[in-house]
């Protein structure tokens, strides 16, 4: 059981050495892209919500 755990740790260390981590600039760009897309989706969904509220109040209620 202990041998399996030690092998797991060794394999994990080996795999982490192979990882290509993004640069600081890439990380900032990706973060800004996620924030921008999230804001755009929020605005779009908010506009749909307002539209549907208006349509419901006008034609249904």
Beta carbons of 30 and 38 less than 8 angstroms apart: no
Q: Which residues contact 30 (CB under 8 A, 6 or more apart)?
A: 22
Q: Is 21 exposed, middle or buried (0-12, 13-18, 19+ CB in 10 A)?
A: exposed
Evaluate if pTM is beyond 0.85: no
Phi, psi of 21 (to 5 degrees): -80, 145
Q: What is the pLDDT of residues 1-56, one digit of tens each?
A: 899 999 999 999 999 999 999 999 999 999 999 999 999 999 999 999 999 999 99
């Amino acid at each position: 059981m202990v041998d399996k755990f030690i092998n797991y740790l060794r394999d994990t260390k080996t795999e982490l050495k192979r990882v290509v981590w993004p640069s600081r600039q890439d990380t900032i760009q990706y973060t800004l892209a996620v924030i921008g897309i999230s804001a755009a989706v929020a605005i779009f969904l908010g506009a749909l919500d307002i539209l549907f509220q208006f349509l419901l109040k006008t034609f249904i209620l």
